[in-house]
Amino acid sequence: MSIAAIVTVCALALIAALWFFSRWAARGAKRRTLRIVAAVLSLFCLGLLGRYLIFNDAVPWHSAIPRSLVEDVVLPSYVLLPFAVSFCVAQWLTARRFAPTGVRYLSFAIGVILVLLTPLEVLIVSCGMAGACL
């Protein structure tokens, strides 16, 4: 099985899981702790992405980042990023009294866009942390 086929199967599995997750997230307000964790995870991932897109050449300490940090923290964070952002969007819209159907579809659509962009995001952050990006 090729790498492209594996990535496609994983993306389709994430999209299917995201549909059920967005339905759950749109049902009403959830615990404040979940909202805080999702927001922190989203900001962490987007901050890393922005840091390596904008300031890649200005940081001389690429080799000081241990590989285990990338494998144990960064990559799982990007797998969870579509779910975290979808959850944050659903909770924000629910708090503003939007229709549950619209909340579900919008949070799902944003999650799908992030699932499709995740391989590119992981590539940018991983090569940025390794100091291999141009």
Task: Identify the pLDDT of residue 109.
Answer: 93
Residue 55, phi then psi, degrees to nearest 5: -110, 30
DSSP state of 111: H
Average pLDDT, the chain: 81
Task: Identify the pLDDT of residue 105.
Answer: 92
Task: Identify the pLDDT of residue 121.
Answer: 82
- Residues in Cβ contact with 52 at an 8 Å cutoff, skipping those fewer than 6 apart: 124, 125, 128, 129, 133
Of 112, 108, 127, which Cα lies nearest the Cα of 48? Answer: 127
| 99 φ/ψ sector (left φ>0, alpha ψ -120 to 50, else beta) | beta
Q: What is the pLDDT of residues 54-67, one digit of tens each?
A: 776 555 555 556 66
Task: Identify the pLDDT of residue 133.
Answer: 61
Low-confidence ranges of the chain (pLDDT < 70): 56-67, 70-71, 130-134
Of 77, 79, 9, 69, which Cα lies nearest the Cα of 37? Answer: 77
Its pTM stands at 0.79
Task: Identify the pLDDT of residue 58.
Answer: 55
Burial of 6 (0-12, 13-18, 19+ CB in 10 A): exposed
